[in-house]
A and B are shown apart, each in its own frame.
Chain A
Amino acid sequence: MKILAIDTSNKPLSVAVMDNDQLLAQTTLTTHRKHAEFLMPVIEDLVKKADLTPTDLDRVVVADGPGSYTGIRMAVTAAKTIANTLGIELVTVSSLLNLALNVQRADVLINPIFDGRNQNMFTGLYRWNHGTIETVIEDQHISLGKWLPAISDYEQPILIIGDTASFEDDMRNVLHSRLLTANPLMGIPSAALLGQYGLAKSPVEDVDAVVPRYLRLTKAEADWKKLHPNEDTHNYVEKV
């Protein structure tokens, strides 16, 4: 099975082309945020370098969020359009889980973090169990103040990766020696690991219905919901 894997959830861009779990080609860039300009050229280039054409692809695996709204939309738009237009499979994977895949050790709880600004984070808690990665706490958008009590009672050490800089000191004050940090390079997503993980997952049933995992309403919608708690928020878009 030929797989195209894409992660542009945050500043890094990572794309890989795989043949089952064998990596054929991968590009990872951290120098810019211009995913709109770089994503399709990188995909084009890698498929060519892997000696394939678009129609050889069987599956697209995409990190669908959380992350920067524009970033996850670039990856998901490209992934769902490629899957739809070529009539191939699409697998969606949490961008936080994809980052956790960088830590292949069973003796810690893995805590990937994306900065949500103002001491908020997009985060979740993961662990390896007999070679399979498991969710311990679901991905969410949460303040550091609320996240800390949620993770402070585990006995295992907690290893943080990703945008850890603005949270590390406060976390250490609570977790002390149970807080572990990693080589910063582990905070950069790898599309190859994403593709490998996505190989074993079931594809989505309805490609058209796939949207990014924002984990957060827009401010306009959140304010509106407060005023209209019982309104059905579906069917706002009509084909005319």
Chain B
Amino acid sequence: MNLVARDLVLSFETSCDETSVAVIENGNKILSNIVATQIKSHQRFGGVVPEVASRHHIEQITGCIEDALRDADVTYDDLTSVAVTYGPGLVGALLIGVTAAKAVAWAHNLPLVPVNHLAGHIYAARLVEPIEFPAMALVVSGGHTELVYMPEEDKFEIIGETRDDAAGEAYDKIGRVLGINYPAGKPVDELAHQGKDTFKFPRAMDSDDNFDFSFSGLKSAFINTVHHADQIHEELSREDLAASFQQAVVDVLADKTQRALKEFPVKQLILAGGVAANKGLRERLTKEIASFKDTKLELVPLSLCGDNAAMIGAAGEMLYRHGARADATLNADPGLEFEWLADEAK
């Protein structure tokens, strides 16, 4: 007999091109994690088309709920709460998850917990090992690149972020130049491992005295190099191009992260988000962390780097304990952001 009551979260994630519903036990155990991905559909267009994404989410949403409950072998009566991503993301896509989560919460009289998508990415780490605080997270994905400082489990403070393109966005854009369809992260990573950094692309803002990133200059340098070679009919090594691009991205991410760790000593560094699946970045951070004796590196497992509802449930359980609640008026917030550390100090 189970003497300790289980805390079960039914969680929803529809912020971009994955419809996902999960059931998470006690905040750290995945009972089910259904992910319906639309990648094949958007590959037709070379990137995510928001209206198409919304249309796919509504096709999938209730089927995903059923599958998640069935795989977890639970019923609505077993649930403690419903958690949902309400931002950031594509507004039309977010609204499908938000509306469905509100409907389920109302129908079964369950509390509704609003979750920031990026808090979800960070809390994916919890599905492997407990997070120890203070912690730092480097969140890198198709839409986001930021360093988040967490003094306590429910405090998220941005200390640096991209000024222009997200790292994953830069991968997709240079991928296109190399003839690689979206999502380009994995193929470019693989190509990079077969080449060398021969082009020495610029490391933007690397020497600046802040924790911000910039990738649009790197992207332009890459594109100009390829176009110039095309014009003079010179063939460049795709492997070396990819390796040079990746080395520049990884250098900037790793340097800024190191500097952040020096200023904000933490017990754990979490690498999260879709680009956290990048082998080059994982290898580099694993090497760099060795010089920080009191900081442990937590690499979110590859299966949980992409968008999924399990991570939303993991964050949702924590937020629920801290009293986060939404009512039936909850709306999508496509531009949702954590607060800046500096803002709070003012």
Interface residues of A (CB under 8 A from B): 34, 36-41, 43-44, 54-55, 69-70, 73-74, 76-78, 80-82, 84-86, 207-209, 211-212, 214, 218, 220-221, 224, 228, 235-240
Closest B residue to A34 using CB positions: B331
The CA of A36 and the CA of B54, in the complex, are separated in Å by 14
Who on chain A is nearest to B108 by CB? A85
Q: What are the interface flags for B87-110 relative to A under an 8 Å C-beta threshold, 1 for contact and 0 otherwise?
A: 000001001101110111011110
Residue B56, interface by CB 8 Å: yes
Count of A-B residue pairs with CB < 8 Å: 131
Chain A CB within 8 A of B262 CB: no
Chain A residues with CB under 8 Å of B260's CB are: none
Q: How large is the interface on B (under 10, 10 to 19, 20 to 34, 35 or more residues)?
A: 35 or more
* Set of chain A residues within 8 Å of B108, measured between Cβ atoms: 54, 85
Q: In the complex, A207 Cα to B63 Cα: how many Å? A: 9
- Among B31-39, B158-166, B336-344, the one that faces the other chain is B31-39
Given contacts A220-B45, A221-B52, contact A237 B99 (CB under 8 A): no
Is chain A's binding surface mostly helix, strand, loop or mixed? helix
Contact status B55-A220, CB under 8 Å: no
Please classify the interface of chain B as helix (H, G, I), strand (E, B), loop, or mixed, using the class held by over half of its residues: helix
Q: How far is the CB of B195 from chain A (nearest CB, A)?
A: 29
> How long is the Cα–Cα vector from A73 to B93 in the complex, in angstroms?
10
Cβ of A99 to closest chain B Cβ, rounded Å: 22
Q: Enumerate 18 A-B pairs (CB-CB under 8 Å) in ascending A order.
A: A34-B331, A41-B328, A41-B329, A43-B106, A69-B54, A73-B58, A74-B95, A77-B96, A77-B100, A78-B102, A82-B106, A84-B62, A85-B62, A209-B59, A218-B52, A237-B37, A237-B59, A237-B60
Q: Is the CB of B51 within 8 A of A69?
A: yes
In the complex, what's the smallest C-beta–C-beta distance from A238 to chain B, in angstroms?
6
CB neighbours (8 Å) of B102 from chain A are: 40, 78
Chain A residue at minimum C-beta to C-beta distance from B49:
A220
Taking CB as reference atom, which chain B residue is nearest A235?
Answer: B40
Which B residues are in CB contact (< 8 Å) with A41?
A: 327-329
Chain A positions within 8 Å of B34 at CB level: 239
Min Cβ gap B182→A in Å is: 13
When chains A and B are docked, how far (Å) is the Cα of A74 from the Cα of B303? Answer: 31
Residue A36 contacts which of B56, B99, B109 (CB distance < 8 angstroms)?
Answer: B99
**Does the CB pair B56–A236 fall under 8 Å?**
yes
Write the nearest CB–CB distance from B326 to chain A, whole angstroms. Answer: 11
Given that A73-B58, A237-B38, A239-B34 are contacting pairs, would A39 and B99 also be in contact in the complex, using a CB cutoff of 8 Å? yes
